[in-house]
Structure 1
């Protein structure tokens, strides 16, 4: 089983590095300066317990991979990039290649299943960061994170069990779950705070707005008949790396790196979609979605508003 990590940023880089450390066959697909740094110097993984540079094979596009039977493609890009990535992959990879989504949100598996028969969902609990080419950081130890896995739309088979075994060997907590998408919906509720870190800034100042966004999300899942577990997370606490704590989640990092796009349409926007389908108002998530997208387009730094300014804007906004 070879792991082709498609989108080797924070999450993909950390997963690929840990698998490679444990002797698994890994190829990374990265791009730009990140690809060049890994190609020339290897991928550096920084954790609370070690800093190690690994000579992981890396390419800059799927067409540079010679796909073979048994390959597992781990999708680890942001959801807004998934459709284009899958289109490129489907032109090259065999139709029975294993595609596993180690991504936030709940849309990626559905997109993949249109093109590939063997699709798996992975519920990712992996506080990590990618802010410098060639370097990824993972903030949990001794377990690097959680990677529960199951077949999409549901079920467990030999492949799911093999993936869980490989992830466990690579210092992740991993369980093969027949209902893994329930857990991904539970993780979605947690990720509704990503846009708050962007609009308000990280820290406790946005706690009330996060609560409001998650209350809307819980109401939408209930109306949709989705029985998602609450409080999806890990018991381990985030630990500092070289005395420095992780400053923000994946959306905050996207804004800090100036990528020009953000994942809010598939996190807060998923709740807005469910709300519109089932008649549940979602004004908080709609405003967060719109503001986060505007900030990404305009290249604005995190911290556009104070909580009070957001609530004032919310009072004047149209229903979601």
Structure 2
């Protein structure tokens, strides 16, 4: 299959490399150092055990029209980065092209084929201008939840840390030919890609932890185990999760694990810095609105009070604005004795 990967970061690089190694026709849509490296050398995948594989049968370009129509387009950048590329994505479309969305958090298409009073409601937190929905129609979308952890360790070089699950699903829950084709393609590359009949429930399950631990860690500069083992922050996380659960329940979502089990799972990860904390330390714009702001928006739509989420959202948004205004980053440094 012809597959375009938009973004060759940690996840896009992992997915594209594995698909190419499985024999798929992969084109990376990339810029800068990644474009130069992949064009010259292909993309290198380093396993958790240190084994290296190089997919040289890949193409790389920064021109969407040069790539041409694809069978599958994988959107592999963060949610707040999608609008900047949305107008170019249609250059990759043929009559039956599907778009696999790999963003964390509530997606722009959430209420498409959702049913009920909120059917068709736009999610302005992740698509303020409506550009993404207009240029990347939800009718083309296959939802996907990303569970693997990986790292871009150099231009064109991705290290796979752990995990292989990419559950996929149609927005209406149907077991269509095209979603089964995407699943088979990913499975052939060595991933676990079950077809789910409720992709939104899986999105909420992952988001349940992300919307709490990411902002708390970025504000406190603490790891997952630190947050879970310090009683005040553990209770704050639990309070935010209870509020999110109330929102989800009003939208017809049931969680298949308990709140305490979800917190315990985060605690077991140990001294891990969340992606939002890593962004704050590196001076990158943190992924706030898809993870937290969209939940606040859905809370208002469902008339659900979320005082703890609202407070944390306000604080982390202020942190992001301060970093942007001062062109700075925030990182703790050990004080010499």
TM-score interval, normalised by the smaller of the two chains: 0.7 to 0.9
* CA distance 1:108–1:279, change in 2 (3 Å): closer
Moved more, 156-165 or 220-229: 220-229
Structure 1 unaligned residues grouped into runs of 5+: 305-320
CA distance in 1, matches of 2:35, 2:320: 23
2:225–2:271: 8 Å Cα contact kept in structure 1? no
Structure 2 unaligned residues grouped into runs of 5+: 111-126, 229-233
| Corresponding residue to 2:159 among 119, 137, 142 | 137
> How much has 1:11 moved relative to structure 2?
1.0
> How much has 1:228 moved relative to structure 2?
4.1
CA distance in 2, matches of 1:190, 1:218: 11
Alignment partner, residue 315 of structure 1: none
Matched ranges for 1:7-86 at <5 A: 7-49=7-49, 50-55=51-56, 56-68=58-70, 71-86=71-86
CA distance in 1, matches of 2:59, 2:292: 35
* CA distance 1:212–1:37, change in 2 (3 Å): farther
Matched, 1:171 2:190: yes
Alignment partner, residue 275 of structure 1: 299
CA distance in 2, matches of 1:248, 1:131: 16
TM-score (norm 2): 0.76
CA distance in 2, matches of 1:197, 1:41: 37
* CA distance 1:205–1:224, change in 2 (3 Å): same
RMSD: 2.9
> How much has 1:247 moved relative to structure 2?
4.4
1:153–1:181: 8 Å Cα contact kept in structure 2? no
| Corresponding residue to 2:207 among 184, 188, 195 | 188
> How much has 1:218 moved relative to structure 2?
1.1
TM-score (norm 1): 0.80
Alignment partner, residue 97 of structure 2: 97
2:68–2:91: 8 Å Cα contact kept in structure 1? no
CA distance in 1, matches of 2:30, 2:282: 16
Give the total of aligned pairs: 290
Cα deviations by residue, 1:62-84 (Å, 9 ceiling, x for unpaired): 2331225xx20011111112223
> How much has 1:170 moved relative to structure 2?
1.6
